[in-house]
Amino acid sequence: MATKKNKGFKVVPYRPEHEQALLEIERESPQGFMVKLETMRPQFLSRASLFEDYTAFTAIAPDDKVLAGVTAAEVPMRINGVLEKTGFGFDAVVDPAVRNKGIGRELANCVRERFFEPKGLAGQFTTLRAGNLTMLHLLSKSYRNTYLYEFLYLTFPTARTLRVENTTFDDPVFSVSLLSDSERLSDFHEVTESGLGLWHTHQIYQLKVKSVNPVLSGGIWLGKRFVRTNKYVPLVGSVLKTTTIYNLTRDNIHTLPEVSLELYKQGINYMQVCCRPSDPVYHALQKSALNAFSHYIVGTNELKLEEPLTIDVRCL
């Protein structure tokens, strides 16, 4: 396959020898604002390879130094009741020393031209933190039209009792499910008797706390000792092991407290639920959530808020 050259770098298909450099770039690019989180994963392809058809590209310098990388896959998404094949981008990383040089845009174009378009994947999507203005700007330059669909990550420490405020509601328009019955995924998930799905995100990647803003931690000075008053803010150096909930309905939302307790016993310290800010799920759970992180599904096709949407849990 031909490579693309542009201003001192070229984009090539991912090769195993790029692996360690890409993981190191990812470690050097912590996410978050008040809490800086370092991504830890066994392989750069850990998310994309959960899908049957995926790809990855690497940007390298003339001396073969790895500068950036991206992964993508063909992903199922249920839009207004119809299961569609879409293109989904994951895990774009760029060495901090070479940012703002057009590398990220070239990677995005490469994924579109070499993977999405040849497969006829007209709907192309990714997920981004709401505050990631750099990536939003990059995507708006790479695609003629982009649309935003907001959703939230609600995070719950399993060490704390979770309370469900209300269970009498219609099932939400936005939902999360595992849209595959592939046997090779069996080690990554389980389904409870109530039908609630547990996707073991911690087996795919974990987050290590690099720094915490003192304002967020809170505390008081007792003599010469600083005592933290918010014990649920993670300590620097701690590792966040998370399970993501899917197939959440009004009929099984009441089981979340016992699920959270069981995860705690297994050493999983966080559980997360995805919903929309206007969803009844949000209002039922938000008082127990440690935080609510706003994200966007960014896509070339508009996802209408009033139409049912189911995203695959492997994308989260």
Per-residue model confidence (pLDDT) at position 229: 41
Question: How confident is the model at residue 91, as a pLDDT?
Answer: 87
Q: Which residues contact 42 (CB under 8 A, 6 or more apart)?
A: none
Largest CA distance in the chain: 67
Cα dist. 49→46, 91, 159, 214, 315 in Å?
6, 12, 32, 38, 11
The pLDDT, as a whole number, for residue 9 is 93
How far is the C-alpha of 167 from the C-alpha of 91, rounded, in Å?
A: 35
Per-residue pLDDT tens over the stretch 14-49: 999 999 999 999 988 877 767 788 899 999 999 999
The predicted-structure confidence for 148-173, as pLDDT tens digits, reads as follows: 999 999 999 999 999 999 877 888 99
pLDDT digits (tens, 9 = 90+) for 257-276: 999 999 999 999 999 999 99
Q: Provide the angle, in degrees to the nearest 10, between the axes of the packed helices 133-142 and 103-111.
A: 50
Rg from Cα positions in the chain: 20
Question: Regarding beta strands 35-40 and 54-60, do their DSSP bridges make them parallel or antiparallel, or are they unpaired?
Answer: unpaired
Instruction: Check residue 235 and give its pLDDT.
Output: 81
pLDDT above 60 for 93: yes
In this prediction, residue 224 carries a pLDDT of: 46
Quote the pTM value: 0.89
Phi-psi region of 177 (alpha: psi -120 to 50; beta: other; left: phi over 0): beta
Work out the pLDDT band at 215, boundaries 50, 70, 90. Answer: low
How far is Cα 12 from Cα 58, in angstroms, rounded to an integer?
5
pLDDT tens digits along 275-303: 999 999 999 999 999 888 899 999 999 99
Q: What is the DSSP string of 15-80?
A: -GGGHHHHHHHHHTS-B-SSEEEEEE-S-TTTTGGGSSSEEEEEEE-TT--EEEEEEEEEEEEEET
3-state secondary structure of 189: strand
Higher confidence at residue 126 or residue 218? 126
Percent of the chain with pLDDT over 90: 69
With cut-offs at 50, 70 and 90, classify the pLDDT of residue 122: confident
CATH label, 4-315, candidates 1.10.287.110, 1.20.140.10, 3.40.630.170, 1.10.760.10: 3.40.630.170
221 pLDDT higher than 70:
no
Reply yes or no on whether the pLDDT at 225 is more than 60: no
pLDDT at 94 over 80: yes
Residue 127 near residue 176 (C-beta atoms within 8 A)? no
Mean pLDDT of the chain: 89
How deeply is 110 buried, as exposed, middle or buried, from its count of CB atoms within 10 A (0-12, 13-18, 19+)? Answer: buried
- 96: helix, strand or coil: helix
Check residue 118 and give its pLDDT.
Answer: 97
The three-point CA angle 36-40-41 to 5° equals: 150
pLDDT at position 232: 61
